Amino acid sequence: MIPILGLAVGIVLGLVFDPTVPLWLQPYLPIAVVAALDAVFGGFRARLDGIFDAKVFVISFVSNVVVAALVVFLGDQLGVGAQLSTAVVVVLGIRIFGNAAAIRRHVFRA
């Protein structure tokens, strides 16, 4: 219950306070959000599987976000930023789909 509350509080905070993101960080924000989504879906699925672990979740979330942003940043420096962000989105997207399917199997038994 508390985690769901945390998610809601975060969304409300972001919408209400509308913090300004520094310009150099803006291109990496969408990628970071996709990475965060992947970690959250993974955590939810692990919880349904009964193997959820708070430490693993926190570490996977932080590392996911940081690594995704870092990969795209590196790609930008090397001139392949657009391609690398596509790669990151494809891989994370496949994982999100897979986890969503597993969650669906748990919830609907189908």
Partner 1 sequence: MTTVQRGGGPRSLGASLLDQVLAETLDPAYAQAARTREARAAGEEAPPSRRRRGQLAVALVLALAGLLAAVAYDQAAAGAQGREEVRSALVAEVESESATTDGLAADLESLRADVTAARDGALAATAVGQRARERVEDAELAAGALPVSGPGLLVTLADAEPDADEDPVGGTTEADPRGQVRDGDLQLVVNALWASGAEAVSINGQRLGPTTAIRFAGDAVLVDFRPVTNPYLVSAIGDPATLRSRFLASPEVNALAVISETYGLRFEFAQEDELSLPAGSPPELRSAVPVSEVPPGPAPEPAPGG
In b/e form, how buried is each residue of 37-71, taking b as 16+ CB within 10 angstroms?
A: bbbbbbbbbbeeeeeeeeeebeebbeebbeebbeb
At its nearest, how many Å lie between partner 1 and the CB of residue 75? 18
Which residues bind to partner 1, rule: CB under 8 A?
2-15, 18-19, 21, 26, 29-30, 32-33, 36-37, 39-40, 42-43, 45-46, 49-62, 65, 91, 94-95, 97-99, 102
d(Cα 39, Cα 85) in Å, to the nearest integer? 17
Q: Which is nearer to partner 1, 15 or 79 (CB)?
A: 15
At its nearest, how many Å lie between partner 1 and the CB of residue 78? 21
